[in-house]
Copies of this chain bind each other. A is one copy, B any other.
Amino acid sequence: MSTSTQLDALTAQQLSLLKFDANGLIPAIVSDHVTHEVLMMAWMNKDSLAKTIETGKTHFFSRSRNKLWLKGESSGHVQDVKSIKTDCDADVLLIDVEQHGAACHEGYRSCFFRELNAGGADWKVLGERLFDPKKVYGK
């Protein structure tokens, strides 16, 4: 594994099992380590996964900005990694975290705050905003 960070040989060997897609990315589902609630899904490349393991805080790869980012770098709402799992095909990650603040940049604890409202005109919004995005991100 060629990454800019330092991983021990055994961890690097384990990561060689993982299947990254044609763009070098793997989907990473993030869930709360106590409630198991799914908080978000984002993409990792090898570097962001190595950085996540090295620092114990989730790092992802932004496809739109084409760069590695630390979750919470603007908001302070970081995620402390509790465990990293993979699925039977080794092409998806499931990361249990302790979420500081809220996972969603729109102010909700989970990014999955909208539910299909069968027979209704729009998606039903669940839960309450924990913060005001304008105040946290200043935009």
Within A1-55, which residues are at the interface with B (CB < 8 Å)?
Answer: 8, 10-11, 13-15, 17, 27, 29, 31, 35-38, 40-41, 53
Shortest C-beta distance, A35 to chain B (Å), equals 6
Chain B residues contacting A112 (CB-CB under 8 Å) are: 85-87, 92, 94
**Interface residue A70 (Cβ < 8 Å from any Cβ of B):** no
Within A98-132, which residues are at the interface with B (CB < 8 Å)?
Answer: 104-106, 108, 111-123, 126
A106 touches B119 (CB 8 A): no
A115 touches B13 (CB 8 A): no
**Interface residue A84 (Cβ < 8 Å from any Cβ of B):** yes
Shortest C-beta distance, A110 to chain B (Å), equals 8
Given A87-B112, A88-B111, A117-B14 contact (CB < 8 Å): yes
Can you list 28 A-B contacts with CB-CB less than 8 angstroms, sorted by A residue number? A8-B119, A11-B116, A14-B120, A14-B121, A15-B116, A27-B41, A29-B29, A29-B41, A35-B36, A36-B37, A38-B94, A41-B92, A53-B118, A83-B115, A84-B115, A85-B115, A85-B126, A86-B114, A86-B116, A86-B123, A87-B111, A87-B112, A87-B114, A88-B105, A88-B106, A88-B108, A88-B113, A92-B111
